[in-house]
């Protein structure tokens, strides 16, 4: 089969690799019809993680089941399914609590003792191949496959967002404890930040502020119904307080991660976290879903090399704020979010800028990594070249 393979910093190619296959009776094999490039993939693409060479990338995956293991009960050949980016077993202590992003069974303890969680095609998240490929092995298929309704083909580019960014955007608002009628400031108008804005709108936020420095992305935030805050127009906290009676937003979401940049394009690892503390009112809650890593050897900043930032703990403490962090437990949300899409209450595909065949993935990575204007969300169709072309 063909797959997008990592060969080193900014070196990826579409190669012929061994076909995905059933390895345990609880597996299925999915023929992938849609798979996305995620902003998180860029951390690996840029060489800012310890992902191994030869890894097949891709964790936002949707397709049709073509092979079923003998112990799979509910998933059938021909089912159209979308897969959470995080792989859970369904029976460990964390999965039973709804914390599928921190599965104890699927975690690779040899990578980092004491850590939990697994994912397709991602650094430090186990040996699992990614889905920027024609086929994908899905472990514990009864638990991990979300079967889709009859409009699965018609709304495929909406449903594929259930693999990661729509649930992750929703998770940001839940970590931030957003309540109906409250205001929220969201840092980052990338795909996750835009999904957080859509989630906040659905949940009845009174004011939604989205902070970014790229006009094409801020324009999408306005389409969703948010107030765009351009970080080139002065201090973000001052702009938010001016729009909230001087107090700041009721809560906030960090949807950028450890490679955040200032308005001049310089990487400043602690910029967004400290700005978020400043822009959210006293006693407000912060939801942090942007990726932060335990170590970043490629960083210029001394602290960032060790996965640390100079956090404004004094202001955070003095304002009596709270914080929730961590990757999204996709299965906590994806079934209900699927039904929002099915009933026409959410249209996450509105952020897609490009639909391409898998062969164009290396070029797409380059454009997306450079933040070229108009490259907001890239969708790949590994097995449907006629439509993708």
pLDDT at position 147, please? 98
Q: Residue written as tokens 């999204």? A: 328
**pLDDT reading at 188 higher than 50:** yes
* Helical (H) or strand (E) element with 36: strand 28-37
pLDDT at position 38, please? 93
Q: Which pLDDT band holds residue 111 (cuts at 50, 70, 90)? A: low
**pLDDT reading at 307 higher than 90:** no
**pLDDT reading at 387 higher than 60:** no
Please give the backbone phi and psi of residue 91, each rounded to the nearest 5 degrees, phi first: -130, -5
Top pLDDT among 271 and 388 is at 271
pLDDT at position 261, please? 85
Percentage, residues of the chain above pLDDT 70: 98
CA count, 13 A, side-chain hemisphere, 331: 23
Top pLDDT among 40 and 133 is at 133
List, for residues 229-252, the tens digit of each pLDDT value.
999 999 999 999 999 999 999 999
**pLDDT reading at 183 higher than 50:** yes
Average pLDDT over residues 81-110: 93
Q: Which pLDDT band holds residue 388 (cuts at 50, 70, 90)? A: very low
pLDDT at position 306, please? 87
Of 3-12, 102-111, 344-353, the least confident = 102-111
What are the chain's domains?
A: 2-164+329-388 (3.90.180.10), 165-325 (3.40.50.720)
Top pLDDT among 220 and 126 is at 220
H helix and E strand count, the chain: 14, 15
The answer, as to whether pTM is greater than 0.85, is yes
Average pLDDT over residues 176-205: 98
CA-wise closest residue to 253 among 311, 169, 339: 169
Average pLDDT over residues 345-353: 97
CA-wise closest residue to 82 among 50, 36, 125, 127: 36
List, for residues 36-73, the tens digit of each pLDDT value.
999 889 989 998 888 899 999 999 999 999 999 999 99
**pLDDT reading at 218 higher than 80:** yes
pLDDT at position 389, please? 40
Residue 238: both structure tokens together = 């001052």
Q: Average pLDDT over the chain, rounded to whole?
A: 94
Handedness of CA 347, 79, 95, 131 (dihedral sign): negative
Average pLDDT over residues 120-134: 93
Q: Which pLDDT band holds residue 176 (cuts at 50, 70, 90)? A: very high
List, for residues 254-286, the tens digit of each pLDDT value.
999 988 888 888 889 999 999 999 999 999 999
Q: Count CB neighbours of 269 within 10 A.
A: 23
CA-wise closest residue to 206 among 237, 227, 221: 227
Average pLDDT over residues 190-198: 97
Top pLDDT among 254 and 308 is at 254
Question: Cα separation of 125 and 107, whole Å?
Answer: 7
**pLDDT reading at 295 higher than 90:** no
pLDDT at position 82, please? 98
**pLDDT reading at 108 higher than 80:** no
Question: Cα separation of 376 and 206, whole Å?
Answer: 26
Average pLDDT over residues 22-32: 98
Residue 114, judged by CB atoms within 10 A of its CB (0-12, 13-18, 19+), counts as exposed
């Amino acid at each position: 089969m063909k797959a997008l393979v990592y060969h080193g910093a900014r070196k990826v190619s579409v190669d012929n690799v061994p076909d995905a296959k059933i390895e345990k009776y609880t597996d299925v094999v999915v023929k992938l019809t849609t798979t996305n490039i995620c902003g998180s993939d860029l951390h690996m693409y840029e060489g800012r993680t310890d992902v191994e060479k030869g890894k097949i990338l891709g964790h936002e995956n949707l397709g049709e089941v073509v092979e079923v293991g003998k112990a799979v009960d509910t998933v059938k050949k021909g089912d159209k399914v979308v897969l959470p980016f995080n792989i859970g077993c369904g029976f460990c202590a964390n999965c039973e609590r709804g914390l599928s992003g921190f599965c104890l069974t699927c975690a690779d303890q040899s990578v980092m003792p004491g850590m939990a969680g697994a994912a397709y095609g991602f650094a430090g998240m186990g040996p699992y191949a990614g889905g920027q490929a024609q086929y994908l092995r899905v472990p514990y298929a009864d638990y991990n496959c979300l079967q889709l309704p009859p409009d699965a083909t018609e709304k495929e580019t909406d449903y594929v967002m259930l693999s990661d960014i729509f649930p992750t955007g929703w998770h940001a608002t839940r970590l931030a404890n957003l309540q109906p009628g409250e205001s929220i400031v969201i840092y980052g108008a990338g795909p996750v930040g835009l999904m957080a804005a859509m989630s906040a709108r659905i949940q009845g936020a009174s004011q939604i502020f989205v902070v970014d420095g790229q006009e094409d992305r801020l324009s999408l935030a306005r389409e969703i119904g948010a107030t765009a805050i351009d970080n080139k127009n002065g201090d973000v906290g001052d702009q938010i307080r001016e729009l909230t009676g001087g107090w700041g937003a009721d809560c906030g979401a960090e949807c950028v991660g450890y490679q955040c940049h200032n308005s001049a394009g310089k990487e400043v690892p602690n910029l967004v976290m400290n700005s978020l503390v400043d822009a959210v009112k006293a006693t407000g809650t912060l939801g942090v879903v942007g990726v932060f890593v335990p170590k970043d050897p490629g960083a210029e900043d001394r602290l960032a090399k060790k996965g640390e930032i100079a956090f404004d703990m004094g202001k955070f403490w003095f304002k009596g704020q709270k914080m929730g962090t961590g990757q999204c437990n996709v299965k906590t949300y994806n079934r209900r979010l699927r039904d929002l899409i099915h009933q026409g209450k959410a249209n996450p595909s509105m952020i897609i800028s490009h639909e391409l065949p898998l062969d164009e993935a290396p070029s797409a990575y380059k454009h997306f990594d450079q933040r070229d204007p108009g490259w907001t969300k890239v969708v790949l169709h590994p097995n449907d070249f006629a439509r993708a072309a």
